[in-house]
Each structure stands twice: as structure tokens, then as C-alpha cells.
Amino acid sequence: MSRQLSHELEVNVPASEAWELYGKLQLAKLLVEEGSIVEKIEVIEGDGGIGTILKKTYAPGSHGFSVQREKFTKYDNEKRMKELEVLEGGYLDLGLSLFRVRFEIIEKDNDSCIIKSTIEYDIKEEAVANTSYVTTDLVAKIAEIAKNFLVKNKATRNAE
């Protein structure tokens, strides 16, 4: 059984600036520095484009699992979109057969954009009764961390 959830957050920075953070590995570095979600990210393969494989170690208590490996499967610089799939660990250990996240940076106007995060997942039949743990909480928190970083950087640049 396939399901989908999405989250949107408006950010008062140009889409190009938000994509600069989301587009490659800068967001991963920010999440490690911030520390509330991710403790460590290892780049197993790649540079942030299609085929990049990451191993994420989550901060204790930040989520229902500790480690997952994920791969960037789609990347479109023009559309400001990238997609990743969990290869092992994470939600797959909790009864899902597929867990995919798509990040899109949607231009609203010259000075604002929307960070849209879409989660697609397939549930193993035996796990159907227990899917309440799949929420947008994690991607919403990631978007909020990104927003705070982007707005702070914009304020710093404007003050110079």
C-alpha cells in the first residue's frame, strides 16, 4: 500500500539561496552542526548529485531509529528538486518497503520561496496496522532549521 504526505514552509529568501543550501550537501552539514536531528553524516559515495549515498546517524531521541543509508535518486537543478530513497535502516526497519523524500524549492517571488517536502512510502502488509510513526515532523524540522539559517544569513548580509 502506497501513501504520501507533504509539508510546505514559506521562507523569505530567494529560491536560488534556498536551493544553494538544499541542492548539494550543505544542508547535511548544517544539520550536523545544528545537532538536534543528526549526529553524524558520512558521504559513502558521490558529491551530492544523483547516486550520492549517505549514512546518517540520528541524534539520540530525535527519531524512532538511529541509523539509515540513503541515496539521491533524482536531481534537477532547473526545477530545484532532489529526491532520496532510504536504502537500509531507518523506516525500512519499521515495516516499510519504500521510503522516499522529495525536496522542492518553489519560487514564490523574487524574495521568497516555499520549501516543499514530500514523503512517499510503501507499507509491507504486515505493518499496515502501525504506520502512525510516518509523519512530516522530521522534514518539517529540517525545513525550519534551513529557514532559520537562511533568514539569519540574509539579515547578516543586509547589515553589512
> Catalytic positions, please?
82
Say which residue the cell 544523483 belongs to: 50
98: closest CA among 77, 75, 122, 114? 122
What does the block give as the cell for 83?
Answer: 529526491
106: closest CA among 94, 90, 117, 119? 117
Distance CA 160, CA 150 (A): 16
Cβ partners under 8 Å of residue 140, min gap 6 = 7, 9, 117
Is-contact 102 8, C-beta < 8 A? no
Is-contact 65 56, C-beta < 8 A? no
Residue 9 phi, psi (nearest 5): -140, 125
